[in-house]
Chain A
Amino acid sequence: MTVLSVSDLNVSFSTEEGRLLALKNVSFDVPERRIVGIVGESGCGKSTLINAVLGLLAKNGRIDSGSILFEGRSELTSLGPAQMRALRGVRISTVFQDPMGALNPVISIGQQMVNIQYRSKRSKAEKIALAAEMLKQVRIPDAEAALARYPHEFSGGMKQRIAIAMALMMEPSLLIADEPTTALDATLEVATIELLKALQEKIGCSVLFISHHLGVIAELCDDVVVMYAGEVVERGTTRQVFNDPRHPYTLRLLECDPARQHERTRHLPTIPGEIPDLRRRPEGCIFAPRCHRRHAACAAAPPDIDVGRGHVARCFLADRPEPAEATA
């Protein structure tokens, strides 16, 4: 069963200077029990995508077309606010970059974790027990005592783990994690990712993991979706995309990661140029101005080409990859 299926999603915002097309024909799937990563840089539309899924688009945004199918039966684009509220926190939950987005500073975390369970029929004692159990799962030391404490008494890394515990407590089918480790130190990030992985296996939920940190995506995710300027330029399993990138942007992005460079070099690769103004989207391929492989055909919008076993790239040259030496 596919937990989340996004098809041809188009989202735009009305601004003072015109209509801004934030997402264009975005399609990807999150199968059951899989971790899907979304990789992209600033302006790629990841936040808009999450907001669209959660029904939290700003007032000046709207879903122009497309579908977001959840658990094979709920069409999220047509649900009203009350129905979305019923889903959020129960079937779909989120963890954000800043744990204080989930933690109320004036309520003890135990109380917050009990409050989250308000829809459940359990007794208060059972709710407290579940809360303590979740804290133990995320390795918060001295879990029972921790219930009585307030968010500010915990360090950043611990707060994030508490936020993860809160998100997974109701055993959702989909966890959306938006840059959950970006603000954490590297060594902390490692521990948090391992935790997330362990919990995901245990609970059996799917995870949509958004990050710009390629190393973490490679390690954690089963599948990956690469976004650029509001479009999905490539998707597939992590192995497919990282070992055999078929879209020039993916290729260049991987090249740019300093961790990928083994020898010391005085000149690091970059991708020249900037993302285009999304209020004036060009007709053709959105990456063409910055692409080292652009040619005449790129003046038209490229199709999604399947290069085998679900590995899709939105590029005319997707099935004609460059030989390895040429990309040095």
Chain B
Amino acid sequence: MSGDPILKVDDVEVAFPVGRIGRRSSILGVAGVSFEVHRGETFALVGESGSGKTTLARAVNGLQAISRGTITFEGRRIDGLARQAMKPIRKRMAMMFQDPVGSLSPRMTVGDLVTEPFRIHGLEDRNLKDETARLLALVGLTRDFANRYPHQLSGGQARRVGVARAIALNPTLIIADEPTAGLDVSVQGEVLNLLNELRERLGLAMVVITHNLHVVHHIADRVAVMYLGRFVETGETEAVFQAPAHPYTAALLSANPEPDPDKARDRIALPAEVPSLLARPPGCEFHTRCPWAEARCSREVPARRDVGGRRVACHFPLAPGARPPPRKERPHV
């Protein structure tokens, strides 16, 4: 993990216009985000709906225009590139999508699907049959899967086809959007193990988007927690898990309980409503739901600072094992 970063995202913003003529304004789906990913590293973006993680992923992949900032891939700036110029980049950066079966064209066979990257980039002189067999073997599927159609695949199998397609042209970076979505618990491990294994074997860098913090724990080296389009905490996975410093991270961790009926219910409960992007709260944007919020939080935007190896945007980062203060009526709720 040394050397120049494969991907460098610098102060990126993605704005969406809203409203009709005469009443136009815009909302920020991604409100200023920076991070780096190095070769062989897995970086996770964690957040719930509305956090901007998928928008950010699509922006990195060039599917979404950004309104500010730069995205640099393998030393080359790729934001704002025209489609033709972006095409060769797409050989080196592959994306996997959320719906395992839905991201596969329904009338194409598995063989056609995994070799499509070759055809798109005019590499048809390769022996596509061999490539199909090779790719399927890499993801643990036998040759006869090549003739199946997506609707004949289970969720886990479809996922693997997606992985095979993503690694077809030997990319250096893979962006995986919710790799375990739609999968049963007993097969989640399949995909995660596969991604880990391929990463080691092929030296891939990965950006994983998910809302499941427990999945992140097992697959990512570093993690960034997103809220309303910003990073609230970033750092090494282990550190973030052992002692989350940002209240939102702590709440997310406690929201995915262990399946143990005897475990004490030390749930950190948040008021359920996420603020609308049209009306971002002043000061720290999380203060409307934060159990530790104080007066300062609604006035001042917290600066990002280093806490125990992590970058946290909070006025009062949590000490390890902190419990929320007793619930009191909060005037802003």
Touch A–B, Cβ below 8 Å:
yes
Residues 167 to 188 of chain A near chain B (Cβ within 8 Å): 185-188
Q: Contacting B188 at CB < 8 Å: which of A158, A190, A254, A256?
A: A256
Write out, one digit per residue, whether chain B residues 236-260 have a CB within 8 A of any chain A CB (1) or not (0): 0110000000000001101111111
A: which residues have CB within 8 A of B?
Answer: 41-42, 155-158, 185-192, 194, 212, 214-219, 238-239, 242-243, 252-254, 256-261, 264-271, 274
Write out, one digit per residue, whether chain B residues 149-162 have a CB within 8 A of any chain A CB (1) or not (0): 00000110000000
**A194-B269, A261-B218, A264-B238 as given contacts; A254 in contact with B48, CB under 8 Å:** no
Write out, one digit per residue, whether chain B residues 33-72 have a CB within 8 A of any chain A CB (1) or not (0): 0000000000000001100000000000000000000000
Please list the 7 inter-chain residue pairs (A to B) with the smallest Cβ-Cβ separation, ordered nearest first. Answer: A268-B189, A214-B259, A41-B184, A185-B48, A270-B189, A215-B257, A186-B255
List, in ascending order, chain B residues with CB within 8 A of A194's CB.
269
**Distance A134 CA – B290 CA, assembled complex (angstroms):** 27
B: which residues have CB within 8 A of A?
Answer: 48-49, 154-155, 184-190, 192-193, 196, 211-212, 214-215, 217-218, 237-238, 251-252, 254-263, 265, 267, 269-274
Q: Contacting B185 at CB < 8 Å: which of A158, A187, A212, A243?
A: A212
* CB <8 Å contact, A256 and B211: no
* CB <8 Å contact, A259 and B257: yes
List, in ascending order, chain A residues with CB within 8 A of B262's CB.
239, 243
List, in ascending order, chain B residues with CB within 8 A of A189's CB.
255
**Distance A176 CA – B238 CA, assembled complex (angstroms):** 39
Q: Contacting B251 at CB < 8 Å: which of A187, A215, A258, A268?
A: A187
List, in ascending order, chain B residues with CB within 8 A of A218's CB.
257-261, 263
In the complex, 17 of the A-B residue pairs with CB atoms within 8 angstroms, ordered by the A residue number, are A41-B186, A158-B273, A187-B272, A188-B48, A188-B272, A190-B269, A194-B269, A242-B260, A258-B215, A259-B257, A259-B258, A264-B238, A266-B218, A268-B193, A270-B193, A271-B186, A271-B187
**Prevailing SS type, chain A contact patch:** helix
List, in ascending order, chain B residues with CB within 8 A of A158's CB.
273
A-B contacts at CB below 8 angstroms, number:
124
A149 → B minimal CB distance (Å): 15
Q: Contacting B48 at CB < 8 Å: which of A186, A216, A266, A269?
A: A186
Q: Contacting B217 at CB < 8 Å: which of A190, A219, A258, A267?
A: A258
**Distance A256 CA – B186 CA, assembled complex (angstroms):** 6
List, in ascending order, chain B residues with CB within 8 A of A212's CB.
184-185
* CB <8 Å contact, A215 and B196: no
Which chain B residue shows the least CB distance to A240?
A: B261
**Distance A301 CA – B158 CA, assembled complex (angstroms):** 32
* CB <8 Å contact, B218 and A264: yes
List, in ascending order, chain B residues with CB within 8 A of A219's CB.
257, 261, 265
* CB <8 Å contact, B155 and A42: yes
List, in ascending order, chain B residues with CB within 8 A of A257's CB.
185, 214, 258-259
B275 → A minimal CB distance (Å): 11
A68 → B minimal CB distance (Å): 27
Which chain B residue shows the least CB distance to A266?
A: B196
Which chain B residue shows the least CB distance to A241?
A: B261
**Distance A276 CA – B125 CA, assembled complex (angstroms):** 40
Which chain A residue shows the least CB distance to B289?
A: A187
* CB <8 Å contact, A186 and B252: yes
**A41-B184, A270-B190 as given contacts; A187 in contact with B257, CB under 8 Å:** no
**Distance A267 CA – B200 CA, assembled complex (angstroms):** 13
* CB <8 Å contact, A274 and B189: no
List, in ascending order, chain A residues with CB within 8 A of B188's CB.
256, 258, 268, 270
List, in ascending order, chain A residues with CB within 8 A of B186's CB.
41, 252-253, 256, 270-271
List, in ascending order, chain A residues with CB within 8 A of B189's CB.
256, 258, 267-270
* CB <8 Å contact, B260 and A258: no
* CB <8 Å contact, B272 and A242: no
A35 → B minimal CB distance (Å): 12
* CB <8 Å contact, A190 and B48: no
B274 → A minimal CB distance (Å): 8
* CB <8 Å contact, A256 and B185: yes
**A187-B252, A256-B186, A270-B189 as given contacts; A215 in contact with B259, CB under 8 Å:** yes
Which chain B residue shows the least CB distance to A214?
A: B259
Q: Contacting A191 at CB < 8 Å: which of B193, B237, B260, B269?
A: B269
Most B-side CB within 10 Å, residue of A219, A258, A261: A258
**Distance A189 CA – B211 CA, assembled complex (angstroms):** 13
List, in ascending order, chain B residues with CB within 8 A of A269's CB.
189
B69 → A minimal CB distance (Å): 27
Which chain A residue shows the least CB distance to B48?
A: A185
**Distance A20 CA – B142 CA, assembled complex (angstroms):** 27
List, in ascending order, chain A residues with CB within 8 A of B48's CB.
185-188
Which chain B residue shows the least CB distance to A268?
A: B189
